[in-house]
Structure 1
Amino acid sequence: MHIRKAVSADAAELSELLNEIIRAGGTTALETPLSAAEFVDWFIDGEFPLLCHVAEHDRSLVGFQSLSLYGDPPKGFADIGTFARMNPKTPGVGSALFPATRAAAEELGLDFINATIRADNVSGLAYYAKMGFETYDRLVQVPLQDGTPLDRIKKRFRIDARHHATPHA
C-alpha cells in the first residue's frame, strides 16, 4: 500500500468512496453526499483542511485521512477523519495512513489530534483506540438529520515529538 498526499485530481474517486460510506450510514457524521468540487474544498485545499493523505492499492484509492480546522477547534488541536473503501474492502488502510498523518501533525506543531466518533460506530471507536487515542469527552444526544439523537465520543491523540508512541497491536 502506498501513502501520498491527496491532490485535486483525486477528488472524483475520493468523493465516490466517501459517498458510498455516507449512503451506507452508521459510521460517519456526514449525512449528505459531496460533489468532487465540495470534496476538494472540504478535504484538500479549502479554508479548513490542513492535510489529506490517500492510500493507493492495486492502482486505486482505497482510503484517505485528513486533518482539518473545521469547527474552530481549540488552539493546538486539529480534527481527523479516516475513510476506507467499503467495496472491495482493503484491510489495514487506516493503520497505513496514520503514521503519515501523525508525522504531519508534528510538523504542523499540533498538540493533539481530535477524533469525534458516532457512539454507534463500533469499528471507528476500535480503530482510534488501537491508534492510541484516548476518550476525553462525550457529546450527548446530538441529532442526526432525521432528528434521531446519537452520542458522539471525543477521543484525542497527544502529539509528542520527543516520544514516538507506537500504536497498540
Structure 2
Amino acid sequence: MLIRKAVTADAEELCSLLNEIILAGGTTALETPLTAAEFADWFIDGDFPLVCHVAEHGRSLAGFQSLSLYGDPPKGYADIATFARMKPKISGVGRALFQATLAAAEELGLEFINATIRADNVGGLAYYTRMGFEPYDRLLQVPLLDGTPVDRIKKRFKVDAKRRPSFSV
C-alpha cells in the first residue's frame, strides 16, 4: 500500500468512494453525495483543507484522510476526516493514513487533531480510539436531514512527536 498526498486528479475516484459511503448511510455526517469539484474543494485544494492523503492499493484508491480548518476550529486544532473503501475492504488503510496525517500535523505545528463522529458509527468510534483519540465533548441530538436526532462524539488526539503511537501497517 502506498500513501501519498492527494492531487486534484484524484477527486473523481475519491468522490465515488465517498459517495458510496454516504449512500450506504449510518457512518458519516455527510448525507448528500458530492460532485468531484465539490470533493476537491472540500478535501484537496479549497480554502479549508490543510492536507489530504490517499492510500493506493493496486491500481485503485482504497481510502483517504484529510485535515482541515472547516468550521473554524480553535487555534492549534484541525479536523480530521477518514474514509476507506467499503468493497473490497482493505485492512490497514486507516492506520497507514493516520501515520502520514500525524506527521503532517506535526509539521503544521498543530496541538490537537479533532474528530467528530456520529454516536451510531461504532466502527468510526473504535477506529479513532485505536489511534489514540480521547473523548472530550458530545453534541446532543444533532438532526439528520430526515430529522432523526443523532449525538456527535468529539474526540481529540494530542499531537506530540515524543508520544507518537506505534502500530504496524
TM-score, normalising length from structure 1? 0.97
Give 1:167 deviation, angstroms: 5.2
TM-align CA RMSD? 1.3
For 2:52, the equivalent position in structure 1 comes to 52
CA distance in 2, matches of 1:33, 1:48: 19
Unaligned runs of 5+ in 2: none
- Using the TM superposition, give the Cα deviation of residue 163 of structure 1 relative to its aligned residue in structure 2, in angstroms: 2.9
Q: Shift in Å at residue 166 of structure 1?
A: 2.8
Measured in 1, the distance between the counterparts of 2:72 and 2:49 equals 12
**1:20 maps to 2:16:** no
Q: TM-score, normalised by structure 2?
A: 0.97
Q: SS where residue 163 of structure 2 aligns?
A: coil
Contact 2:67 2:80 in 1 (8 A): yes
Partner of 1:4: 4
- Structure 1 equivalent of residue 37 of structure 2: 37
The answer as to 2:149 corresponding to 1:149 is: yes
- Letter in structure 2 aligned against 1:158: K
Identity %: 78
Give 2:108's aligned residue. Answer: 108
Q: Which runs of 5+ in 1 are unaligned?
A: none
Query: How far apart, in 2, do the equivalents of 1:164 and 1:90 lie?
Result: 24
Q: Number of residues paired by the alignment?
A: 169
> Which stretches of structure 1, 4 residues or longer, exceed 6 Å deviation after superposition?
none
